[in-house]
Amino acid sequence: MLVSSGQTEYAPVIAELYKHCFKDRWSVSEIEQILALPTTIGWVTEKGFLICTRVLDEMEIISIGVLPEYRRMHLASALMRELMNYAKQEKVKKIFLEVSALNIAAQRLYGGFGFKQTGVRKGYYPTENGMVDALCLTKEI
Ligand SMILES: CC(C)(COP(=O)(O)OP(=O)(O)OC[C@H]1O[C@@H](n2cnc3c(N)ncnc32)[C@H](O)[C@@H]1OP(=O)(O)O)[C@@H](O)C(=O)NCCC(=O)NCCS
């Protein structure tokens, strides 16, 4: 389901999904604030979500997650396809994101959609074993 800016009623669903997808948490009110922004656009199902921002002809993927029990069923790929269709329709020229250097699953997902590494932020993500680099990935459309 497409979630455009202002649709804050989806915040509890996304918070619940997020809790099962990531070690940290997004509170419902944090998500409400994100959804209230005029630049926010996303897709949400009962099994996963994808949240982006769009400013003119550029988009950034803020977060994507699929519930652990539904992974490797191409659900994230389906959400990414929704984003790609939207981006083409809206004449978006570039999509970018940051991903942990340790997150091989997400890197492969993005690689499959033509994202290429364009930079690195050294020691960007805190983990239990110290700081980990963020890879900056970009897709030109
Ligand atoms: C990353 C994530 C969203 C992928 O969701 P998914 O629905 O399992 O992904 P898909 O089934 O669409 O996989 C698409 C491709 O990504 C790659 N991939 C996905 N999971 C993988 C894994 N565990 N190991 C290696 N490659 C993987 C594969 O190339 C896969 O294609 P294939 O199954 O045909 O080989 C999911 O693992 C997740 O929610 N992880 C936790 C949250 C997260 O890390 N989000 C990204 C933050 S940047």
pLDDT of residue 2: 83
pLDDT of residue 31: 96
76 Cα–ligand 1 center, Å: 7
**Helix/strand/coil (H, E, C) string of 67-113?**
CHHHCCCCHHHHHHHHHHHHHHHCCCCEEEEEEECCCHHHHHHHHHC
Quick check: CB of 105 below 6 Å from ligand 1?
Answer: yes
Q: What interhelical angle do 28-36 and 11-21 show, nearest 10?
A: 120
Quick check: CB of 102 below 6 Å from ligand 1?
Answer: no
pLDDT of residue 25: 87
Report how far residue 4's alpha carbon sits from residue 11's, in angstroms, rounded to the nearest whole number: 12
Quick check: CB of 81 below 6 Å from ligand 1?
Answer: no
Q: Which residues of the chain have pLDDT under 70?
A: none
pLDDT of residue 66: 98
Beta bridge partners of 43: 2, 50
Quick check: CB of 120 below 6 Å from ligand 1?
Answer: no
What residue ranges do the domains of the chain occupy? 1-92, 96-141
pLDDT of residue 86: 96
What's the whole-model pTM score?
Answer: 0.96
First to last CA, the chain: 23
58 Cα–ligand 1 center, Å: 24
Question: Which CATH code for domain 1-92?
Answer: 3.40.630.30
Q: What would the pLDDT profile of 66-99 be if each residue is shown by its tens digit?
A: 999 999 999 999 999 999 999 999 999 999 999 9
Quick check: CB of 112 below 6 Å from ligand 1?
Answer: yes
Both tokens of 55, joined, read 């400013």
